[in-house]
Amino acid sequence: MRALAGGPISRLPQLLEALVTVGSDHDLRPALDRIAETAAALTGARRAEVSTLDEDGDAPGDLITHGASPRAGQPGEALLEVPIQVQGELFGTLCVAGKDDGGRFGDADLHLVRVLATEAGIAMSNARMHAAARQRRRWIEGTASVTTALLAGPETRSTTSHALTVVAERGRELAEAATGAVLLPDEEGGMEIVAISTVLSDAVRDEAYRARIPPRSPVVHQVRAGLAVFSDDFGADPRSISPISRHYGPMMLLPLRSNGRVLGALALCRKPGEGRFSHTERTLATQFASQAAVALVLADRHRDRERLAVFEDRDRIARDLHDLVIQRLFATGMLLETARRKAQLPEVADGVGRAVDELDATIQEIRSAIIALQQGPAAAPGLRTRVMREADAATTALGSRPSVQFVGPIEARLDDEGAQELVATLAKALAGASASTEPVRVKIVVDALATLLDGRSAVRLTVSGVGAEEPTVWERPI
C-alpha cells in the first residue's frame, strides 16, 4: 500500500477533474493553461510548458507556461517531455521540469503526462476544426457579399473602379491583412495598382498608386501565368523588386482568373512581424480571388446588358418624339399660321403669332432633347444639354421657363473653351434677368450659322426677353 501512496491511483481524482474541466472549456487558451497547471501539480514539477505548432505544423505557435519555463532550469535538473499528437498529427509538446523533491520523474509521471498530452491534442484538434469551419464560413459569406455588391441594381452599383475597390476591401478584411489591392496589366507588360484598401497611412497609399511592378519581375511572370505567389516576408523576398514591398511582411498575390484568362491580381499583405498566412488561408483566399474574378466578369456583362437596354429605350423615345410629337406640333403650328392670316382683329393675330413662336421654340427644344438622348447616358454632357440645364435652373427665379432655340450644329462649331465661355455668359445673363422684381419671359437663341459684320462665320448667343434690359449677345468666330 505504501507503494501506491502518491502513485497514479491517488492522483486519479485530480486527473479526472482536470480532464472534465478541459473537455468542457470551449476556449483553447484556458484549456491549455489548465493542462500545464495540472501537469505540474500531478507530477510534483516546479514548472510546466505547453508549446504548440502553427496550423501548418512547421513553425512555432503559442507557448503556455506554468511557473518559469522548464527549459530555463539548471543543468542536470529532471525534465520530462512528451509529444502532443492525435492520429499521427503533431500539435506540439508538453514538458515538465524540476521535481519538488529533487528526484527524477518516474513511469507513473510519464503516464500522467501522456494522458494530459492526449487531452491537449484533442482540445487543440477540436479548436482548430471549429476555427477552420468558422473561417470557411466567413470567407464564403464574404465571397457572396462581393458578388451581391457587384451585381447590385443600378441605384446602388457604382463604377467599375469602385467594384475593384470592393474586391480589395473585402479581401483585406477576410484575410485580416493590412492592405488589399487589385492590380491590372499595364501597357508595358507589367502590373499597376488600380484599387487599394489599407489601414496604413495615406502616404503609403499614394506611394502604392504611383508604384508599378515592371515586366521583368518574376512575380509578374508567375501571376500572368495564372499562378499564385506566396511570401512569408515580402520585404525581404528576392522576387520582390517593388519599392512598396518594404512596408509588408506576409503576402499573397492571387490571380484574378476567369475562363482561363488572367484579368489581374489581388494582393493581400500583412505588416512585418505579423503571422504568416496559413495553408487554409491561402486556399480560401485563392478561391475568393477566383470567385471575385467571375463576379467582375458577370458584373461587366450585367452592366453591358443594362446599358444596351437604356440605349434601346432612349432610341425608342427619340423616335417617338421625332415621328409623333414633332409632327403633331408642326401640324398644329400650320393650323395656327392659317388662323393668323385669317384673323380680323390685330390683337388676335398677334396672340396667334406668339403661339406659333412658342411652338417653334418647343420644337427646337424637343429636337435638342432628341440629340441628347442619342448621345447616350455615358457621354459627357454636350453643349445643348448644358444650355438646357442653365435654362431649367433659372426657371424658378424668372417665374417662367426660358424658351431655347438652337440653330445649326453648335456641338461641332465650338471647342471646349468656346463652349465654357458660352455657358458662363448664359449663366450671367440669366442671373441678371432673375434679379428683376417682375417675372421675365426670356428667350435663348444659340445660332451656329451666324455671320459677323466682316463676313466671318460665328456662333452667336442671344439672351433677350420681355421685362429684361438690353439683350445679351456673345459671339465667337469659327
- ∠ CA(423), CA(459), CA(367), 5° rounding? 75
Choice between 318 and 207, residue whose per-residue pLDDT is larger: 207
Q: What are 258's strand-pairing partners?
A: 261
What are 125's three cell numbers? 484538434
Choice between 365 and 25, residue whose per-residue pLDDT is larger: 365
Q: What percent of the chain has pLDDT over 70?
A: 73
Q: What percent of the chain has pLDDT over 90?
A: 10
- For residue 393, the model assigns a pLDDT of 82
Q: How confident is the model at residue 475 (pLDDT cuts 50, 70, 90)?
A: very high
Is the pLDDT at 87 greater than 70? The verdict is yes
- For residue 280, the model assigns a pLDDT of 86
- For residue 2, the model assigns a pLDDT of 33
Q: pTM of the prediction?
A: 0.52
Is the pLDDT at 335 greater than 60? The verdict is yes
Instruction: Please give the single-letter amino acid code of residue 73.
Output: G
**For 423-468, what is each residue's pLDDT tens digit?**
999 988 888 887 776 667 888 899 988 999 888 999 999 998 755 5
Dist CA 75 CA 65 (whole Å): 19
**For 214-246, what is each residue's pLDDT tens digit?**
888 888 888 888 899 999 898 888 887 777 888
Read off the pLDDT of each residue in 191-202 and give the average, rounded to a whole number: 87
Lowest mean pLDDT among 43-52, 146-155, 397-406: 146-155
Given a contact cutoff of 8 angstroms between Cβ atoms, the answer to whether 288 and 325 are in contact is: no
What does DSSP assign to residue 296? H
Read off the pLDDT of each residue in 172-200 and give the average, rounded to a whole number: 88
Residue 365 to residues 28, 326, 370, 444: CA-CA distances in angstroms? 74, 10, 9, 11
Q: DSSP characters for 25-37? A: --SHHHHHHHHHH
3 state DSSP class of 351: helix
Contacts of 368 (CB under 8 A, 6+ apart): 384, 385, 387, 388, 404, 406
Residue 73 to residues 76, 97, 104: CA-CA distances in angstroms? 9, 8, 14
Read off the pLDDT of each residue in 301-312 and give the average, rounded to a whole number: 61
Positive/negative CA dihedral, 69, 72, 77, 79: positive
**For 41-57, what is each residue's pLDDT tens digit?**
888 888 898 888 877 67
Choice between 436 and 124, residue whose per-residue pLDDT is larger: 124
- For residue 239, the model assigns a pLDDT of 83
Helix (H) or strand (E) holding 224: helix 218-224
Residue 51 to residues 25, 60, 92, 105, 226: CA-CA distances in angstroms? 19, 8, 5, 20, 38
Is the pLDDT at 158 greater than 60? The verdict is no
- ∠ CA(370), CA(375), CA(377), 5° rounding? 110
What are 136's three cell numbers? 470557411
**For 237-279, what is each residue's pLDDT tens digit?**
888 777 788 889 999 999 988 777 888 889 999 999 888 898 8
